[in-house]
Chain A
Amino acid sequence: DIQMTQSPSSLSASVGDRVTITCRASQGISNYLAWYQQKPGKVPKLLIYGASTLQSGVPSRFSGSGSGTDFTLTISSLQPEDVASYYCQKYNTAPLTFGGGTKVEIK
């Protein structure tokens, strides 16, 4: 099965900083990659699908890129409300594996 590896596992950044989270697939998955945000005590929320398509209603400071095995989620200007854990998920085939998650905090 394809493994999904996220890095870093956690990060601390200042408000206004540009934040980048990486997700790497052990084999190519084309652009079948989604990103989710889970705020503390809340349910996951879809941010991006198709590696780079922003889900309706998601702020434009979030963006995704990549194809094949290497993907990136970028927050262009970190806001206090972005404190959360972020997960990638591959969905080219089953199993629909999630990455281990990245916890984002404010410095």
Chain B
Amino acid sequence: EVQLVESGGGLVEPGGSLSLSCAASGFIFSSYAMSWVRQAPGKGLEWVSSISGGGNITYYADSVKGRFTISRDTSKNTLYLQMNTLRAEDTAVYYCSKVRSEVVVAASNYWGQGTPVTVSS
């Protein structure tokens, strides 16, 4: 059974940093691309970033480019999102998702429960 468990969310002041983790199990982690998707309170889904199965290809939304870094550790079956220079508009629930293939640009067929991030002073 595929399981994705996010952690690391919380309250942070504007300009601060936060690191999210997503522990994956139930599939061959290195064989699949992974994504982060966020959802601001009462709003729709926003794609944030994706990484290939091998970790050598990454993509970012313009809204987070230069501030967020996606990475993965195959030895730990864990996906990460390092978030720096956080802004109020980054406040959202952050979902980790497993992409259907190793190819980065594909649909997500499994989602974690999400971890909330609040950026506020």
Contact = CB atoms under 8 A, between A and B. Distances in A.
B32 interface: no
Interface residues of B, number: 24
Q: Is the interface of B mostly helix, strand, loop or mixed?
A: strand
B73 to A, nearest CB: 22
A44 B95 contact: yes
B53 interface: no
Interface in A71-107: 85, 87, 89, 91-101
Interface stretch (B12-20, B23-31, B84-92, B108-116): B108-116
Contacts of B111: 43-45
Interface residues of A, number: 25
Given A43-B111, A43-B113, A98 B46 contact: yes
A98 B43 CA distance: 12
Q: Is the interface of A mostly helix, strand, loop or mixed?
A: loop
Interface in A6-53: 32, 34, 36, 38, 43-46, 49
Contact of B107 (A38, A49, A85, A94): A49
A34 B107 contact: yes
B59 A89 contact: no
A88 to B, nearest CB: 10
B105 A101 contact: no
Interface of B: 35, 37, 44-47, 50, 59-62, 95, 97, 100, 104-109, 111-114
Given A96-B105, A99-B44, 17 more contacts: A43-B111, A44-B37, A46-B108, A87-B44, A89-B45, A89-B107, A91-B105, A93-B105, A94-B60, A95-B62, A96-B35, A96-B47, A96-B50, A98-B37, A98-B44, A98-B46, A98-B47
Interface of A: 1, 32, 34, 36, 38, 43-46, 49, 55, 85, 87, 89, 91-101
